[in-house]
Structure 1
């Protein structure tokens, strides 16, 4: 059964996981303070160390969250990268939806207040 597309959303499936393997592996490495420091010291060398492709590298350079998702990034691993930038998962959600962080948080609160399911079956 094929997943129902959500406009403006990149579905993280097996194909995306394969495409983003190097990027996600790099972001996972940011669990280590030593690796975060190495990345901050020389981002280009660090990206080469993990074998990021041109699209992934450019998205890292420009801090383009949507580009990172499109290039195979998994939001949970990208959160490690976002942490280096002083961002949190709500910042990533806001970027994905084109909202400000405040508007994104307000939307989450509204959704949690609604008793019916927001997902179509």
Structure 2
């Protein structure tokens, strides 16, 4: 047994990541789950793919092995849902960019703040770690 894990199994250790409020750790399981979301997002690196996507988003998404739930999340730009479905924020940045959003502006949509509020919070050092440690422990 790995001494870093103590008496925990790897599954117990990884499950602890789901107890971090407001955070989705990109694990191997999430990578597998979100494979096609991330492949779609990476396709937007090519200008011709961005143009096809912008011309008819639904038709472009239909060319990918995406669940209807993933397509709906992509169409509505529900980035939190996309992260839950295995999307990687750095791959999804290709979609942010296609939409003309900065990384910070897009990430602000994943919070309960406006972009100016989010930017101010980040410029002031980010969220306070006080009280935000565990979902099970009610923060």
Instruction: Report the TM-score when normalising by structure 2.
Output: 0.74
Q: Which moved more, 1:27-36 or 1:96-105?
A: 96-105
* 1:52-71 correspondence to structure 2 within 5 Å: 52-71=66-85
1:3-55 deviations in whole A, cap 9, x for unaligned?
54321222211111111110101110111110000111222221122211111
User: Which runs of 4 or more aligned residues in structure 1 lie more than 4 Å from their structure 2 counterparts after TM superposition?
Assistant: none
Equivalent residue for 2:53? 39
- Shift in Å, 1:92: 2.5
Structure 1 residue ranges without an equivalent (≥5): 113-117
Q: Which has the higher helix share?
A: 1
Cα RMSD, aligned residues only: 2.0
Give the structure with higher Rg (CA): 2
Report the Cα distance in structure 2 between the residues aligned to 1:30 and 1:19, rounded to whole angstroms: 20
1:42-90 deviations in whole A, cap 9, x for unaligned?
2222112221111110101212111111111111111111112121211
Q: How many residues align?
A: 115
Report the Cα distance in structure 2 between the residues aligned to 1:109 and 1:43, rounded to whole angstroms: 34
Higher relative contact order (CA 8 A, sep 6+): 2
Structure 2 residue ranges without an equivalent (≥5): 6-12, 134-139
